[in-house]
Every structure is written in structure tokens, then in C-alpha cells.
């Protein structure tokens, strides 16, 4: 996807004080109309916004939050694709160069809406910073996210890279040009104590899903019984979600297949689900290169990886 520099549009300068005009910001080329529509879209007080970098556990958290918001209605969840119950804001823009999802959100989606987006903070709707609906952010070790992204692109046949090594190098080069990854998380991490933000990590979900479910319930002011908790733990387990036809982005893959006239075969969106799984795919040399990039980025943002992963307690 060809990217272009864009001017940051809106930000919570009252709680995050920095020179926003100088904040490097990039998005898909020729997306001005879309970005304007996003910036101006109406945010509802009871919206929940799920913001992540790609491949960081979005789908897992999305299913979790949707169920909490919808009174643990597992039957309905099993009947409709997750991406139709909770829309991906950029989907139409990325796929069709259109504003479709925005229009759906602004007019058609019933409350409470659960909105998924990978947009960086300054490109999100300006009303987020005034209405302050609930915002959830999930981070993941970039090494696992990079490998996951490689397999995602292979699945959709939209990468020419034949192995994770080449893809990882390209990812780093691209990131150094467009400064996206750590800046994206740094801003939400800085906001994590705000009462309208819930910040967590894929690693936390893996190590203690029960606590994350409890946290989300508390954050959204919802009660959960022990029986519902047991159902949640079962429904959200890797094996269940891997075999659930409604959580594997099959609808999205069909749209993609139609648009590009490609057969996508047996799409396994939910793939491996491991912490540290990158070790099976990357060489020691790849890992060193990614570590160098990560260390330099972490240093420039004055961050520590384990803090971002909430793995220090
Ligand atoms: S996307 O395309 O950005 O929305 O992808 P995203 O959903 O953020 O990330 C996909 C990865 O999350 C894993 N996943 C899970 N892991 C453990 N348990 C459950 N239930 C679960 N659901 C999704 C999924 O397998 C992808 O990670 P990898 O490493 O590729 O397996």
C-alpha cells in the first residue's frame, strides 16, 4: 500500500501535551476525503473504540468486547460474522477507496457500536477527544505481530515476500520511513491512566484471560456471573475461535476475493496464537535486526518493551 504523509488532524492536547503539528503521520496515498470523513464523523457517547496495530489481538479482544456489550449473547455471536457485528473503520477505504464503513457507522450501526481501527491517534475522529467514549487499546510484541502479518498477507496473496526474513526487513525499512509502530502505541500507553482508556496486551490476554475479561467488564460497567465467565473462557479459547466460522474474517476474505478476483482457499485467520511464536519463523539474524530497530525506537520514545506489554508486575 503506497503511503503519503498527512497532517495530524485532532488530538487530546489537554491530556497529551506535545508538538502535534510535528508528529510524523502517514496513511494510504490519496485518502484525504476518507480522513476528513473520519475526522468529522459523529462519535456516540456509548461507543466503544478498539484501537490496535495490526495483528496484535484485535479480533480476540473484539469478540470479547462484543459479548460483554451484548449481554453475553453467544447465540447471536455464532450467527453473524464478527466483522459485520463490529466494523473495521478503514475496511472500505483500504479495499475500495471508498467511505462506505464511515457512512455505515455514522448512520446505520445500532448502539452500542464497537468500532475497530488501526488508525494512529491523530487521524481518529476529533469527537473522541471531546466526548471521550470508552477506548480499548491492545499491544503485542512486534516480533510476533510481524510474523503474524507476514502470514496474513500470504493468506490474502498480497505479498511478494516468500519468507518471514524478507518481510521483516521490509517492515523495519518501511517503519523507519513512516515512524508508525512505536509512535502508535506510545501515545495510547501515555493515556493509559485516563478513565476512558483501557490499555492491555496480547501477552496479558494469553497469560490471564479471566483477569482481562474482568477488567473489561469493570471498564464497561457490566456484571458477569461465574457461569458467563466460564462460557467466555471457553468461547474465547484459541481452539474455539480457530474453529468458529464467524471469527475468522471469512466475510472480509470474500469481499477481498471478489474485488481482486482471487481464490482465497482455506483461510485460517486465527493461526497459531502463541507468545514468542516468532522464534519458529525468524532466524537469529532476523531477531537481532528487529531487536536493534525496536531498541532504537523504544529509546527514542523513552519506553521499555516489558512496560508496553504490561509484563513487569
Ligand atoms: S488484524 O488483522 O489486525 O485484525 O489481526 P488481529 O486480530 O489483531 O491479530 C491476529 C492474531 O491474533 C491471534 N488470535 C488469537 N490468539 C490466541 N487466542 C485467540 N482466541 C486468538 N484469536 C486471534 C491470531 O491467531 C493472530 O496471531 P498469530 O500469531 O498469527 O496466530
pLDDT tens profile 63-78: 999 999 999 999 999 9
Nearest CA to ligand 1 atom 5: 55
* Lowest mean pLDDT, pick from 143-147, 151-155, 191-195, 261-265: 261-265
Nearest-atom index, ligand 1, CA of 52? 8
> Taking a C-beta distance cutoff of 8 angstroms, is the pair 24, 198 a contact?
no
Q: 92-126: per-residue pLDDT in tens?
A: 888 887 777 787 777 889 999 999 999 999 999 99
Q: 252-261: per-residue pLDDT in tens?
A: 999 888 888 8
Percent of the chain whose pLDDT exceeds 90: 82
Prediction pTM value = 0.97
Mean pLDDT of the 219-236 span: 98
> Taking a C-beta distance cutoff of 8 angstroms, is the pair 28, 120 a contact?
no
In the prediction, which pLDDT does 262 show? Answer: 82
CATH number of 3-142+175-262: 3.40.50.300
Mutate to test the pocket of ligand 1, among 60, 164, 213, 277 (most ligand atoms within 8 A of CB): 60
Q: 260-300: per-residue pLDDT in tens?
A: 888 776 677 999 999 999 999 999 999 999 999 999 999 99
C-alpha 18 – ligand 1 centre gap (Å):
33
CA distance 142 to 282: 13
Mean pLDDT of the 25-50 span: 94
What cell was used for 41? 464523523
Does residue 1 have a pLDDT over 80? no
Q: What is the mean pLDDT of the chain?
A: 93
Identify the band that residue 228 occupies on the pLDDT scale cut at 50, 70 and 90. Answer: very high
C-alpha 58 – ligand 1 centre gap (Å):
7
In the prediction, which pLDDT does 159 show? Answer: 76
Identify the band that residue 178 occupies on the pLDDT scale cut at 50, 70 and 90. Answer: confident
SS3 (DSSP) at 67: helix
> Among residues 243, 59, 241, which one has the least CA distance to residue 145?
59
> Taking a C-beta distance cutoff of 8 angstroms, is the pair 258, 95 a contact?
no
Identify the band that residue 177 occupies on the pLDDT scale cut at 50, 70 and 90. Answer: confident
φ/ψ of residue 288, rounded to 5? -60, -45
> Among residues 206, 172, 209, which one has the least CA distance to residue 293?
172
Rg (CA), the chain: 19
Nearest-atom index, ligand 1, CA of 241? 20
Contact residues of ligand 1, CB 6 A cut-off: 52, 54-60, 144, 148, 151-152, 236, 238, 241, 270-273, 277
> Taking a C-beta distance cutoff of 8 angstroms, is the pair 125, 39 a contact?
yes
Does residue 313 have a pLDDT over 70? no
* Cα–Cα separations (whole angstroms), residue 168 to 21, 146, 312: 30, 6, 27
Mean pLDDT of the 304-313 span: 92
In the prediction, which pLDDT does 67 show? Answer: 98
Nearest CA to ligand 1 atom 19: 238
Look-up of cell digits 508528529: 23
Domain boundaries in the chain?
Answer: 3-142+175-262
In the prediction, which pLDDT does 96 show? Answer: 80
Could you tell me where the DSSP H helices lie in the chain?
32-40, 58-69, 74-79, 82-85, 91-96, 100-103, 128-131, 142-155, 164-178, 181-190, 202-207, 209-219, 226-235, 238-242, 250-260, 284-300, 305-308
Percent of the chain whose pLDDT exceeds 70: 99
Mean pLDDT of the 126-134 span: 97
Amino acid at each position: 500500500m503506497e503511503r503519503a504523509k498527512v497532517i495530524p488532524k485532532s488530538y487530546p492536547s489537554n491530556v497529551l501535551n506535545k508538538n502535534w503539528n510535528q508528529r510524523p503521520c502517514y496513511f494510504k496515498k490519496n485518502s484525504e476525503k476518507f480522513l476528513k470523513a473520519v475526522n468529522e464523523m459523529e462519535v456516540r457517547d456509548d461507543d466503544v473504540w478498539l484501537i490496535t496495530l495490526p495483528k496484535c489481538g484485535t479480533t480476540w479482544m473484539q469478540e470479547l468486547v462484543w459479548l460483554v456489550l451484548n449481554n453475553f449473547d453467544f447465540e447471536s455471536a455464532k450467527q453473524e460474522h464478527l466483522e459485520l457485528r463490529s466494523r473495521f473503520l478503514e475496511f472500505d477505504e483500504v479495499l475500495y477507496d471508498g467511505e462506505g464503513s464511515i457512512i455505515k457507522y455514522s448512520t446505520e450501526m445500532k448502539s452500542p457500536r464497537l468500532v475497530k481501527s488501526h488508525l494512529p491517534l491523530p487521524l481518529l475522529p476529533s469527537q473522541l477527544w471531546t466526548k471521550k467514549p470508552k477506548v480499548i487499546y491492545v499491544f503485542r510484541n512486534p516480533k510476533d505481530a510481524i510474523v503474524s502479518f507476514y502470514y496474513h498477507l500470504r493468506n490474502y496473496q498480497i505479498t511478494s515476500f516468500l519468507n518471514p526474513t524478507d518481510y521483516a526487513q521490509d517492515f523495519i525499512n518501511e517503519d523507519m520511513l513512516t515512524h508508525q509502530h512505536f509512535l502508535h502505541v506510545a501515545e495510547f500507553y501515555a493515556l493509559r491512566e485516563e478513565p476512558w482508556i483501557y490499555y492491555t496486551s496480547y501477552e496479558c490476554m494469553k497469560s490471564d484471560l479471566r483477569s482481562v475479561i474482568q477488567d473489561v467488564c469493570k471498564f464497561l460497567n457490566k456484571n458477569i456471573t461465574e457461569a458467563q465467565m466460564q462460557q467466555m473462557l471457553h468461547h474465547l479459547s484459541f481452539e474455539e475461535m480457530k474453529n468458529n466460522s464467524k471469527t475468522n474474517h471469512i466475510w472480509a476474505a470474500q469481499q477481498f476475493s471478489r474485488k481482486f478476483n482471487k481464490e482465497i482457499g482455506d483461510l485460517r485467520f486465527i493461526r497459531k496464537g502463541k507468545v514468542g511464536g516468532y522464534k519458529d519463523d525468524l532466524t537469529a539474524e532476523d531477531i537481532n535486526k528487529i531487536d536493534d530497530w525496536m531498541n532504537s525506537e523504544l529509546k527514542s520514545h523513552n519506553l521499555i518493551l516489558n512496560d508496553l506489554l504490561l509484563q513487569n508486575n
